[in-house]
Amino acid sequence: QFILDEFYLSQLRAKTGWWANKFGGQLGAKGRITIGKQRFFYRTEYNFVRPFTFSHVSEALNYGTQGTNLAHPYGGNFMELLGELKWNHTKWDVRLFTNYFLRGADRDGYSFGGNVYQSYVSREEDFGHYIGQGLQQNGCNLMLTVSYKMTHHGNIHAFVENHFRYLEQGKYSRYMLVAGIRSLLWNDYRNY
């Protein structure tokens, strides 16, 4: 997938880092493999979006609604590499999800193109923009989920999830353990 908003080819060829060359992309692969009663699902992706791609002059014109980014949870000004592997055997499911990200946040009262609700008018410069500019944040997320299908009616599962998040800045890490019972009648699960 590829997104192109505003674009000026001569500025791209000159490699000036012009702020209004707004584009992003997603490259990935996913699939399923079945071996006997065991089923595997895999997914890998590389995502990137240049600064200011989803922002605009005002909040009314950006790629967001009700305080939420529409295109990607990180907004703009980021790159991400993620992988997912899921194993299913009869009533058991095991899922491993991980991602590494690099993104740039606003700093010193200027917009560096990551926050879609910040006007691109408040940028510091017109040229020299790159992914990760501003207050650079990089880190990773890791999630391991084990679930057991308790009943076929209602698709009821008992599960345990391990969430781990690490941010390089400040050596911040967080671990959270979640356990419970859930129905997968309608699964609108998001891993961000």
State residue 60's pLDDT score.
80
All residue ranges of the chain with pLDDT < 50 are none
E-state strands within the chain: 2-4, 23-35, 38-49, 64-65, 68-69, 78-89, 92-105, 135-151, 156-167, 172-183
pTM of the model: 0.85
Average pLDDT over the chain, rounded to whole? 91
Residue 150, phi then psi, degrees to nearest 5: -85, -40
Q: Scan for tokens 């057991």, then name that residue.
A: 148
State residue 189's pLDDT score.
63
Q: Is 10:16 a contact under the CB 8 Å cutoff? A: no
